[in-house]
Amino acid sequence: MGDLRVWHDGPLPEGVRASAQRLADSDNARHVALMPDAHLAEDVCVGAVRATSGTLYPSAVGGDIGCGMAAVAFDIEAQAVTDARVAARILSAFGARVPFARHRRAAFPSLPQTLRERCLSSPELEAVRCREAEMQLGTLGSGNHFIELQADEGGRLWLMLHSGSREIGPAIRDHHLRRCHVGRLGLRFLEAESEAGRCYLADVQWALDYADASRRQMVEAVADALGGVARAVPLWDTIATCHHNHVRQETHASETLRVHRKGAIPAGAGAVGLVTGSMATFSVHVVGLGNEASLGSCAHGAGRRLSRTAARHQVSIVQLGRETAGVFFDHRLARSLREEAPSAYKDLTHVLRAQRDLARVIRRLRPVLVYKGV
């Protein structure tokens, strides 16, 4: 049985502590840290960091393996994209270069050679890779994934992008869950040093590298679009990236552990991280403080306050419009985007206050334009 540490501003959402305690009480648990953006999700709550001595829990990583963020600054002021006509051209340019679902078969890019040369662990997964991976490389997805243009405190234009491994991530999770042992409390696991465990780790690394490559391609597509519309040039020395769904080997308190993060970012001493708010509230860049009690982790975003179903019932199109006043987005998608309304998320101010000992804010950014899929 492992210890459970909680960072949260106020009472935890209903069921979250029980979900985290289940992780702490499961086989080979050493430590569980619950981040201040934690909320319920399938099997394992989002915002949970779990360390084990030698077991792997695919559900503690989730299906969107490699989901994460990228950010880069541009050489222009954000004011340059705040004219409605310019914003409309930018949204159109993003739509032409970054599909939500998949590229047209005649236009999809090739996988990087480093990904083409590495096979996944089963014919089933190889089939998914051949069928979907190339067509989805550099595509955004839906839900809470986004491309956002932001202004920092000095008015400079920044990009922040949130995406993951698309269809290959859930396929890897589901494939390996079918090969897991069922542990106490019903959580499924693999032994890290078994053949099945090594296959899972290799597939996870492939998905992490794929998600990174996909984000990089989207960043370059956005830079191309902004160059054409606003003559903006990316400042590549400012680029920052981070994963928030992964498992990797780390050393904590002189012990080698398998650290699983589901909706949490690494926040080792000096590590740069990206923490998002919502489509009309501020986001931040942070530097990790290396707090060992949190397994060197911090929150990855504001975290949901309302489930998607509850948001669709409680948030009207009119309310979404009020909450996003001053932020450009495609209003034709407003009905579907109600579940992404700012009121469906926690207040990021409270999240940051709860993790003062985990990460330090180095930059605060407000959204100017948001491109999202449905």
Helix spans in the chain (H)? 16-25, 84-97, 113-116, 123-128, 134-136, 168-177, 195-230, 308-314, 317-323, 334-337, 348-354
Helix spans in 187-307 (H)? 195-230
Can 39 be counted among the known catalytic residues? no
Most distant CA pair in the chain, distance: 58
Strand partners for 46: 39
Helix/strand/coil (H, E, C) string of 106-124?
CCCCCCCHHHHCCCCCCHH
Q: In 3D, which of 89, 109, 138, 99 has the Cα closest to residue 328? A: 89
Residue type, 363: R
Cβ–Cβ under 8 Å, residues 140 and 370? no
CA 29 from centroid of its chain's CA atoms: 24
3-state secondary structure (DSSP) of residue 185: helix
Q: Which residues contact 205 (CB under 8 A, 6 or more apart)?
A: none
Cβ–Cβ under 8 Å, residues 90 and 96? no
> Considering 300, 313, 331, 350, which one is annotated as catalytic?
300
Which residues are tagged catalytic?
Answer: 300
